[in-house]
Amino acid sequence: MKRLYISVGAVWMALQLCPSVHGQSDASIKAAKSTAAAAGLKKYQKFSGNDGKPWLYGGDVTLSFASTSLSNWSGGGEDQISIAPAVNLYANYKKGKRTWENYGIFNYSIQKNGERKAVKNSDNINLITKIGQQITPKWFYTASFLVCTQFSPGFKYSATDTVRVSDFLAPVSLFLSIGVDYRPNNNISVVMSPLMGKATYARSDDMLVLSNAGLVTTEKDSSGADVKIPHKSRYELGGGLVASWKGNTLKNKLSCDTQVELFSNYAKQPENIDVTWRVIAKYLIYKNISFDLRFDLLFDDDKKTTDENGQLRGAKIQMKNYVGASLFYQF
């Protein structure tokens, strides 16, 4: 069930990253927008078919920046500078009980330490489209399509070497899912998908790039020795679940958004569940300035790690965290 979850997780992440609002009053919609603006949330504003405007467009732009400069500092260290732009766009349609949501999520970050070359820390392109049909006030049929890739090459750095491990469209992941969405209130969403397809493709012939994308398998040759087999693509069919929660406190100055995504591949080791967990907290310091905290956890059994000699090892839990201050603008 492992892949079911990352795929479902991913698509459902899409669904959760892009929550749609159904059956809300104009007053609740305005309140949600006001809260999001006050808290500086990078949330996609919700929409209602009751305001006479079936289409709603918008988004936000965020720029995070950090710098450290040292001069004759006896304690040691080195200069550091980092910059992280992000853009989120949406175009949502609602008429009656039918909805159509479209999102573009883009972020990139660069860090430079001392005299060394600048390196990237984050790089994501997510394109999402989702169709919904309301069943009851709390239940919806959903069908979603998600595309995930990155802008530029990614590298693994060591004291003696720099190795390319990813590139544009290497990999690119496609998710197609059908399921139901349970929304007991505006803060909680649970998406269940008994049918999800996931396709992974890499526009590369590099063994490490393919390995990092989970496209290298190990098989036995005629002598019984292990042989690494590269593949350009992989297709999976499974199911998954995505649960998300978001809320505000401290007079809407502190916001928190967390989401867990699970995916299992029906055809291959369904007990190996892919897991994606994301936590985003934002504290409004002053107007369009915020203090941000983000934590990401990922486990995908197909993505094997490599040691310092380039040998494939087992999959490991991947974690990434970020703490910083940001300027943001919503439109």
Domain with 282, as residue range(s), is 2-330
CATH number at residue 228: 2.40.160
Distance, in Å, from the CA atom of 239 to the CA atom of 196, rounded to the nearest integer, reads 5
Of 210, 257, 233, give the one whose Cα is nearest residue 16. 257
What's the number of domains the chain is made of? 1
**Each residue's pLDDT tens digit in the chain (331 positions)?**
444 344 434 433 333 333 333 333 333 333 333 333 333 333 333 444 445 678 998 988 889 887 777 777 766 778 888 888 989 899 999 888 888 889 998 989 898 888 788 888 889 898 989 898 999 989 999 998 989 899 999 888 776 778 888 888 899 989 888 999 998 887 898 889 999 888 999 999 888 888 888 888 888 888 888 888 899 999 999 998 888 898 888 888 898 989 898 889 998 888 888 898 989 888 889 888 888 888 889 888 777 665 555 555 667 888 888 788 888 888 8
**Phi/psi of residue 17, each to 5°?**
-65, -25
Handedness of CA 228, 217, 170, 302 (dihedral sign): negative
Q: Are 259 and 274 in contact (CB under 8 A)?
A: no
Whether this prediction's pTM lies above 0.85 is answered by no
Distance, in Å, from the CA atom of 155 to the CA atom of 174, rounded to the nearest integer, reads 23
